[in-house]
Amino acid sequence: MEILDKIARSVKIGEYSETPLLIQTALDQGLKPNEILDRALFVAMEEVGVLFREEDIFIPEVLLSARAMQAALDVMAPHMVGEPNIRRGKVLLGTVKGDVHNLGKNLVNVMLRGAGYDVVDVGENIAAEVFLKRAIEEDAQVIGMSALLTTTMGQMGRVIKALKEAGLKDNIKTLVGGACVTQRFADEIGADGFAENAGQAVAKLRELLDRS
């Protein structure tokens, strides 16, 4: 449908002023919020993720797209009462203990929310027991961990160990990333997934949830 294509394009290029008008037009035409989400908004943000991963666009463009996505959701919110759950999964996101860097984590948060995931950001300097406690409280399907410092990488392994000791390793997946983190390290600590950047995080998360 033409209006859905227009919405997708508007979000993709970050037209945050035009997007709400297109959303209202779609609603006036009788389209349901979940249809707009699935066929326009999520599609657009997934394309943004791919472009960012391939370095065809950069952080400023991603943030504009996220702003357009939020503007769309603001218009749709009153129409979503009574709609079935349209979120794609729940993710607990945080920077590990000893590390207070948050730029990469915050960008992953933006990308995941834009792609339709329910994200709980627990912040920075988060200990393993806190990750575990909050994941249980929030009924999270995935714990996403970030580390910038090589001295804090080991904390990721502690979170995974805590999950194993609680008997939750198979129920709660783990996704790791950060400047110092590699696929080899992720494999060594038993993480379920590794993402080199925010664009990869969206793709990897979808893969993890599809497998669960």
Question: Distance between CA atoms of 173 and 93, rounded to whole angstroms?
Answer: 12
Is 137 part of any domain? Answer: yes
Residue with tokens 């959701």: 73
Read off the pLDDT of residues 135-190 as tens digits, 9 standing for 90 and up: 999 999 999 999 999 999 999 999 999 999 999 999 999 999 998 999 999 999 99
Read off the pLDDT of residues 27-74 as tens digits, 9 standing for 90 and up: 999 999 889 988 999 889 889 988 988 889 988 998 899 899 989 988
What SS3 state is found at 170? coil
pLDDT of residue 83: 59
Question: Distance between CA atoms of 65 and 140, rounded to whole angstroms?
Answer: 26
Question: Distance between CA atoms of 96 and 158, rounded to whole angstroms?
Answer: 10
68 and 103 part of one domain: no
Summary mean pLDDT of the chain: 92
Please give the tally of structural domains in the chain: 2
pLDDT of residue 50: 87
User: Which residues form the domain of 204?
Assistant: 90-211
End residue of a domain, out of 42, 58, 79:
79
Q: Which pair of structure tokens corresponds to residue 136?
A: 């249980």
Question: Distance between CA atoms of 31 and 24, rounded to whole angstroms?
Answer: 10
CA 56, 206, 63, 33 dihedral sign is: positive
pLDDT of residue 25: 97
96 and 143 part of one domain: yes
Question: Distance between CA atoms of 134 and 147, rounded to whole angstroms?
Answer: 19
Strand segments, DSSP code E, in the chain are 90-96, 118-126, 142-146, 173-177, 193-195
End residue of a domain, out of 79, 110, 136:
79
180 and 105 part of one domain: yes
Please count the CA atoms within 13 angstroms of the CA of 87 that sit on its side-chain side.
11
**Looking at residue 147, which CATH number applies to its domain?**
3.40.50.280
CA 126, 191, 116, 198 dihedral sign is: positive
Is 85 part of any domain? Answer: no
End residue of a domain, out of 79, 106, 141:
79
- pLDDT band, residue 86 (cuts 50/70/90): low
6 and 95 part of one domain: no
94 and 75 part of one domain: no
98 and 185 part of one domain: yes
